[in-house]
Structure 1
Amino acid sequence: MVHDPADTPADRSFTDRLLHRTFGQPRGLLGRLGGWVMAGGKDATIEWVLEQLSIRPTDRVLEIGFGPGDGIRMAAQATSEGSVAGVDHSTVMVRMARDRNATAVDAGNVDLRHGRASELPFETDSFEAAFSVNSMQLWPDVHAGLDELQRVLVPGGTAAFGFTHHAKQNPNELVDVLMSAGFESIELHERNRAICAVVVTA
């Protein structure tokens, strides 16, 4: 479900906080373990989400919440003449994704940074496409993140928000949130209990 700011770590049970530290906002040894567990686990969904974007080889693509870097790798393969950038709130995931995409990072084709969706460290109109998978529900301020996303996308740019069934994202709630953020063109896709919403910027 889309994150409720009132649902802070202090309000959760010990088990919930443990899972949050391992998978939600990975930190320390638990975060590294969570990264390896997640690696490759969403490949089919990520590939499907990227298909919805129809990425061109020259596109500049952004991923928000890249985790261990599987989506970054796939997007880089699709943008042989473009570039891929990403932001993640976990320093553990940033290090892991950089290691797993070291060749592309060293070549300057991939730029991975630590940060939050609500304060994207990129210039206005920097990307033709953007995506996230099982990430938006973890943003502390979803509307601020969507505002930032619209800022860094070029006019007519596309964004895709994917969720595996583990995220338990309600499709109707997702559409409502995107509409309230000002997106008028919203396409909702469903496959194998996963959902993906595709939007176009004005």
Structure 2
Amino acid sequence: MFSLIKRNFSKPKGIIGVMTGKIMAQENKVINKWTISRLGIRRGDKVLEVGYGPGYALEYILDHYPVVRADGLDISETMKELASKRLRDSIDAGKTELMTADIGEANLPDHAYHKILSVNNYTIWDEPRNGLSRLFDALIPGGTIAITMQPREENASPNKTKMFGKQIYDDMRACGFERISMKFKRVKPEMTVCVTARKPRGK
């Protein structure tokens, strides 16, 4: 059972997917709030979350930043079903759109979002740098992105966290982001890294 749940984390589906989504949401609660706080969300912003799971982070954004739009992209149809129930009122009010696609194939509009976040999702993208390039295009000039990772593997360690941070930092720089900043936070079960960056104005 535990090995099945572990394999399900990359693309949750079915009953096991529902269980996985709940586990992920509970474990990510603290680092979701931390990541959101680093974005500097303002009144009127359009926000995109990549890997929205059951919708807890999107719900938090909409509850705490009421005059914003918060969309989500996730590869899992099961997670879309869960998030759609949680965010039904916001969806009906036109404050949220939930999309299902792989980040490498997602049809995101250019210059559409002021802020983008992704928590514990980056390292399961098939081609992270390609996905990040798509998010670069989806940001407005001057927009901010925050990508957070907390190792959950059996060999998780602070060194693994630092390795994730360096990978994200290097990928952001290669994709044209500027003002790249790496911050660490001690959150059980392992040290966590959040890398933020800005899309240059005029791009």
Once residues 199 and 19 of structure 2 are traced to their aligned partners in structure 1, the CA distance between those partners, rounded to angstroms, is 37
Q: 1:122 deviation in Å? A: 2.8
Runs ≥4 residues deviating over 6 A: none
Once residues 199 and 75 of structure 1 are traced to their aligned partners in structure 2, the CA distance between those partners, rounded to angstroms, is 19
Report 1:124-163 matches (<5 A).
124-163=110-149
Q: Which moved more, 1:167-176 or 1:29-38?
A: 167-176
Once residues 186 and 134 of structure 1 are traced to their aligned partners in structure 2, the CA distance between those partners, rounded to angstroms, is 19
Answer yes or no: is the 8 Å Cα contact 2:114–2:139 preserved in 1: yes
Residue 87 (structure 2) aligned to one of 98, 101, 106: 101
Q: Residue deviations 1:46-86, cap 9 Å, x none?
A: 00001111100210000001111111111212432220101
Q: Residue deviations 1:29-49, cap 9 Å, x none?
A: 211111122233211100000
Answer yes or no: is the 8 Å Cα contact 1:59–1:79 preserved in 2: no
Aligned to 1:7: none
Q: 1:120 deviation in Å? A: 2.8
Residue 71 (structure 1) aligned to one of 43, 51, 57: 57
Answer yes or no: is the 8 Å Cα contact 1:128–1:158 preserved in 2: yes
Q: TM-score, normalised by structure 1?
A: 0.86
Answer yes or no: is the 8 Å Cα contact 1:163–1:196 preserved in 2: yes
Once residues 10 and 41 of structure 2 are traced to their aligned partners in structure 1, the CA distance between those partners, rounded to angstroms, is 28
Amino acid of the structure 2 residue aligned with 1:19: K
Q: 1:176 deviation in Å? A: 1.9
Aligned to 1:196: 194
Report 1:48-127 matches (<5 A).
48-127=34-113
Once residues 33 and 44 of structure 1 are traced to their aligned partners in structure 2, the CA distance between those partners, rounded to angstroms, is 19
Structure 2: which 5+ runs fail to align?
154-159
SS of 2:137's equivalent in the other structure is helix
Q: Residue deviations 1:63-113, cap 9 Å, x none?
A: 001111111111212432220101100000111111112221222111111
Aligned length: 188
Structure 1: which 5+ runs fail to align?
1-13
Q: CA RMSD in A?
A: 1.9
Answer yes or no: is the 8 Å Cα contact 1:57–1:78 preserved in 2: no
Aligned pair in 2 of structure 1 residues 125, 115: CA closer, same or farther (>3 Å)? same
Once residues 69 and 126 of structure 1 are traced to their aligned partners in structure 2, the CA distance between those partners, rounded to angstroms, is 20
Once residues 67 and 173 of structure 1 are traced to their aligned partners in structure 2, the CA distance between those partners, rounded to angstroms, is 23
Q: Which has the higher contact order (CA 8 A, sep 6+)?
A: 1
Amino acid of the structure 1 residue aligned with 2:98: L
Once residues 54 and 69 of structure 1 are traced to their aligned partners in structure 2, the CA distance between those partners, rounded to angstroms, is 20
Once residues 16 and 145 of structure 1 are traced to their aligned partners in structure 2, the CA distance between those partners, rounded to angstroms, is 27
SS of 1:40's equivalent in the other structure is helix
Q: TM-score, normalised by structure 2?
A: 0.85
Percentage identity across aligned positions? Answer: 27
Aligned to 1:174: 168
Once residues 107 and 92 of structure 2 are traced to their aligned partners in structure 1, the CA distance between those partners, rounded to angstroms, is 20
Answer yes or no: is the 8 Å Cα contact 1:64–1:132 preserved in 2: yes
